[in-house]
């Protein structure tokens, strides 16, 4: 499951994850992943950023970014972290849904 990949990658690059968040990350399901995708989309719109802007910041095409935003489970964790940095939110804030 992608959730375990997220957690393992976060640990491997020393991203601080609060102990209470660890259980939540491991227990993510498709509904939760959809909420995370929605939160990223909402924050992007709130900041006034287009998908094209986000894609340029991430070094990917707008089409790939659009796919990533719709299906966060398929996104490499390193890219999720970059998205949160661009959107000025922490990974923990993103997970607080």
Question: Is the dihedral angle over the CA atoms 87, 37, 77, 97 positive or is it negative?
Answer: positive
- Chain segment 36-72, per-residue pLDDT in tens: 889 999 999 999 999 999 999 999 999 999 998 988 8
Which domain covers residue 56, as residue numbers? 2-95
Judge whether 92 and 23 are in contact, CB under 8 Å. no
The CATH number linked to 71 is 1.10.260.40
Judge whether 93 and 21 are in contact, CB under 8 Å. no
Quote the pTM value. 0.68
Total domains, the chain: 1
pLDDT number for residue 24? 46
């Amino acid at each position: 499951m992608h959730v375990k990949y997220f957690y393992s990658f976060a640990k491997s690059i020393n991203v601080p994850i609060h102990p209470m968040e660890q259980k939540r990350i491991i227990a993510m399901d498709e509904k939760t992943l959809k909420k995370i995708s929605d939160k990223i989309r909402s924050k992007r719109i709130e900041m006034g950023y287009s998908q094209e802007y986000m894609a340029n910041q991430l070094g990917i095409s707008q089409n790939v970014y659009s796919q990533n935003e719709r299906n966060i489970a398929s996104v490499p964790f390193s890219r999720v972290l970059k998205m949160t940095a661009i959107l000025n939110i922490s990974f923990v804030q993103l997970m607080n849904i």
